[in-house]
Amino acid sequence: MVIEVNQITKRFDAFTALKGLSLQVRPGELVALLGPSGSGKTTLLRIIAGLEFADEGRILFDGADAGERHVGERRVGFVFQHYALFRHMTVLENVAFGLRVVPRERRLSNHDIEKRVHTLLSLVQLDQLSGRYPSQLSGGQRQRVALARALAIEPRVLLLDEPFGALDAKVRKELRRWLRRLHDEMGLTSIFVTHDQEEALELADRVVVMNHGAIEQVGTPEEVYNSPATPFVYEFLGNVNRLDCKIKDGAVGLWGSKIKAETQDGRPVPSGEVAGYAYVRPHDIEFVEGGHALAEPAIVRHVAAAGPTARIELALEGHSNLIEAELPRQRYLELGLKSGQSVMIAARAARVFPATFDGN
Amino acid sequence: MVASTAIAVPPLGEYPQPRARFRWREPSVLPGFGLTLGFTLTYLSLIVLLPLAALVLKSLELSWDQMWEAATSARALAAYRLSFGAALLAGIVNLFFGVLVAWVLVRYHFPFKRLIDGLVDLPFALPTAVAGIALATLYAPNGWVGSLLDPLGIKVAYTPSGVVIALIFIGLPFVVRTVQPVLQDLNKDVEEAAASLGAGRWQTFRRIIFPSIMPAALTGFALAFARALGEYGSVIFIAGNLPMKSEIAPLLIIIKLEQYDYAGAATIGVTMLIVSFLLLLPINILQRWTRQRAGEN
């Protein structure tokens, strides 16, 4: 199903949670809403579900306005952050709930309801626990019951609010893979909210990076990671070094190479001299042999070499903050870097934004 | 305000312990198990068991035949019927309206909400005699409410209906105060989950909210009922106290005392004690059952 979010604005008293936000989700897509807390991602999810209503703008499901429709009529499967299971019902009754509240003339027979519930429970691998109460289950099991319950009503869209937030790392990883498989097998259109970038990048087809009630960037995990559109996305996704610099006539000389500055919304970079930030990913820092023109002298301050990548902290002349570089273990051994050593570094890739466009 | 909540959410991801077999001493980080248990038993013995034992002993001064006669005289039977019937009726009324009041106080925002919330406790604080006199004045045939009901042929004051009214008044806070914290703790997302699965408001209430507040409501009902059984002060002013008609059992006990028939009074007291126990026991069992069904333990 196509979900269209059209110029949605939502205010809570004086606080504006969403600022005229638009988004389109294609059928069969698994989309992640990623952002820090307070960025409006959960509010957006709840508005799509119909648990919250927008002050302005429209939500379209397959082109039809869903705005006036009550949450129960939208046929969305919603999985809550803390599962929201019915504690006085067994697992079986929890999953059957959505089927039992259907008006009598359309309701399945008891026999059919139970059959369907057992099919769903085997799908989430919990059929043997159908007689248990939620309090007798582990966190991961509860989450799967919540998912089975949401799927019971054959939703057109599956919406998940921080689905793995309350689980420990190992269970989280398992459930993540399992959810991806389920999504593909059932041909669902799904949107999930997360503040965990690793989760978003690993699981989603497309990632929507949000900040302060607006979308910073929409793209595949590769796109948002490799070519962040804004300083915020740069800083939010992955590690990055931010260097203060001066932009002169739209460009910056960084470590011997000249980099053109850009703005996040495509407006021209102010002419003359303006303050800016240069962003360099740690793995884009290269160590070059001495005497190279396109390089900058630096001093190694600290080396953390455990694991497949070595992390090296460098002090640059004229910069108070240390910058971080990452090297594959093999390359690190070849260079034989040690604390206190002088090196020459260069940037394989870097981007510059004027400071006035800083998303913070 | 009642501070404790009847429903505790188990921490996420924690497996519930299998039910332990009886152990005399629960391992605990807090010392003083022996001391506290000893104090509890002594205290309960002094405050509850000793007076009750004295009551039973006093009634034993009579022979079995005399005792039977005192306990089952026509006047006593009528008094039991009124006391238990009116208390039960008042308890049921309080159960419904108490849940309603708690619901409104928790779920809605309106001006003077705090004031109204405070009003609920008033029947606790008011001297019962004052409540009785006020109610009798209001419901008397020439009172504000009584004068409106009188032309319709409804008499409240000085009839069994008056007794029920007084008992409803004094029992109101119990259900409200037991249900209120449970409603407050009820997670909003559970209701939202029900709505997202297609349940209407009434279905959500009946299938989700009601089972959660049922144990607390039953507790409140049992408390209101027990309180109403023993109520004396407010009732005697509005009841009219006609023997066989509007005379409650506690009043009969006082009358026996005034006639220096201490053993007779004790016998009626013991009878009420036994019947109360027999009625409260199933209520407690029911409460336990609903609590288990509400997903606790």
Phi, psi of B110 (to 5 degrees): -155, 160
Token pair recorded at residue A141 = 């099991």
Burial readout A104-117 (b: 16 or more C-beta within 10 A, e: otherwise): eeeeeeeeebbebb
Of A49, A134, A140, the CB nearest to B295: A134
pLDDT digits (tens, 9 = 90+) for B19-76: 556 666 666 777 778 888 899 999 999 999 999 999 888 888 888 888 888 888 899 9
In Å, how far are A82, A100, A117, B187, B227 from B200, measured between CA atoms?
22, 12, 21, 17, 37
- Provide the pairing of β-strand A30-34 with A206-211: parallel
Residue B85 CB: number of other CB atoms within 10 A? 13
pLDDT digits (tens, 9 = 90+) for B209-259: 998 888 899 999 999 999 999 888 888 888 888 888 888 999 999 999 999
Token pair recorded at residue A244 = 């203060």
- Please name which of A195, A223, A234 lies closest in space to residue A359, comparing C-alpha atoms: A234
In Å, how far are A306, A309, A310, A334, A340 from A328, measured between CA atoms?
11, 5, 6, 10, 20
Token pair recorded at residue B35 = 């001391």
Triad B253, B258, B260: Cα angle to 5°: 95
The pLDDT of residue B3 is above 60: no
Q: Cα–Cα distance between B60 and B191 in angstroms, integer?
A: 57
pLDDT at A267: 67
Question: Would you call A97 and B200 a contact, using CB atoms and an 8 Å cutoff?
Answer: no
* A:230-289 residues touching chain B, CB 8 A cutoff: none
Provide mean pLDDT across the span B180-189.
89
Q: Which residues of chain A lie closer than 8 angstroms to B208, CB-CB?
A: 86
User: To the nearest 5 percent, what fractions of chain B are helix, strand and coil?
Assistant: 70, 0, 30
Please, what is the end-to-end C-alpha distance for chain B in angstroms? 25
- Chain B touched by A107 (CB under 8 Å): no
User: Which residue from B minimizes the CA distance to A49?
Assistant: B196
Phi, psi of A18 (to 5 degrees): -135, 135
Across the A:B interface, residue pairs with CB atoms under 8 Å apart total 94
Nearest-CA distance A179 → chain B (Å): 19
Q: Cα–Cα distance between A31 and A29 in angstroms, integer?
A: 6
- Chain B touched by A135 (CB under 8 Å): yes
Burial label for B247, CB within 10 Å (0-12, 13-18, 19+), is: buried
Q: Cα–Cα distance between B19 and B156 in angstroms, integer?
A: 52
Mutate to test the interface with A, among B189, B197, B288, B296 (most CBs of A within 10 A): B197
- Collapsing DSSP to helix, strand or coil, A352 comes out as strand
- Collapsing DSSP to helix, strand or coil, A260 comes out as strand
Residue B260 host element (H or E): none
Query: What topology is assigned to B55-296 in CATH?
Result: MetI-like fold (1.10.3720)
pLDDT at B99: 94
Tell me the whole-structure pTM to 2 decimals: 0.76
* B:194-213 residues touching chain A, CB 8 A cutoff: 194-200, 203, 207-208, 211-212
ipTM computed for the complex: 0.79
Please identify every stretch of chain A with a pLDDT value under 70, giving residue numbers as ranges: 250, 256, 264-268, 270, 290-293, 356-360
Q: Cα–Cα distance between A252 and A246 in angstroms, integer?
A: 7
Nearest-CA distance A134 → chain B (Å): 8
Percent of chain B with pLDDT over 70: 89
Residue B248 CB: number of other CB atoms within 10 A? 29
Token pair recorded at residue A341 = 């050593």
Query: Which residue(s) pair with A9 in the sheet?
Result: A56
Question: Would you call B294 and A135 a contact, using CB atoms and an 8 Å cutoff?
Answer: no
Token pair recorded at residue B188 = 């909003």
